[in-house]
Structure 1
């Protein structure tokens, strides 16, 4: 990933990313990325975290994240399993992650009991 994470704002911090695995590592990467879902959703500041596979391009994985703040995302990226993935990501990928940072214009409050 060559894009710099933008500075924080007063709105939730969102991003969408695409991971295109090497064909021989597709199943392994799918399982690894799936293993991140539950722990990430449980993190403080994680408002949304979803993992998808592109219907038009099977084996192309898409993730969508919404964080309360950039600082919450920064904390997430410093966790040991995330640092390990970041350092080893090119072992799995045909090309680097394609990540787009989003400005949310339609923020909504998260339900208290969610």
Structure 2
């Protein structure tokens, strides 16, 4: 079952660009992991200190392994002083594709 991880990450004022640099380093490494379907970064149009990460994984086990990788642990450590609160992580599974062809 495909698992989608949605993360909303808010930084302290003025730290959005610094977090973006860390995310830009994390994304290509994460995309190479077993089970990673995609790993996309989005920055708020209205608030440069708010980021949204959208990831799809082939299984919950693959996502769980991602959370244990050295590069993700390094990211979390480096990002911690930049953050305004905890990262808001939400997991989803696809139940239907509305309007899709095929």
Structure 2 residue aligned with 1:67: 57
Gaps of at least 5 residues in structure 2 are: 98-102
Q: TM-score, normalised by structure 2?
A: 0.84
Q: For the aligned residues, what is the CA RMSD? A: 1.6
Matches within 5 A, 1:44-59: 44-59=34-49
Q: TM-score, normalised by structure 1?
A: 0.76
Count residues with an aligned counterpart. Answer: 97
Matched, 1:30 2:20: yes
- Structure number having the greater strand percentage: 2
Matched, 1:98 2:88: yes
For 2:28 and 2:92, how far apart are their aligned partners in 1? Answer: 23
SS in 2 for 1:17: strand
Q: Once structures 1 and 2 are overlaid, which stretch shifts more, 40-49 or 50-59? A: 50-59
Deviations 1:47-103 (A, max 9, x none): 111000011322210000110011111111111121123345431101110111112
Structure 2 residue aligned with 1:16: 6
The answer to whether the Cα contact below 8 Å between 2:15 and 2:49 also exists between their aligned partners in 1 is no
Gaps of at least 5 residues in structure 1 are: 1-10, 108-114
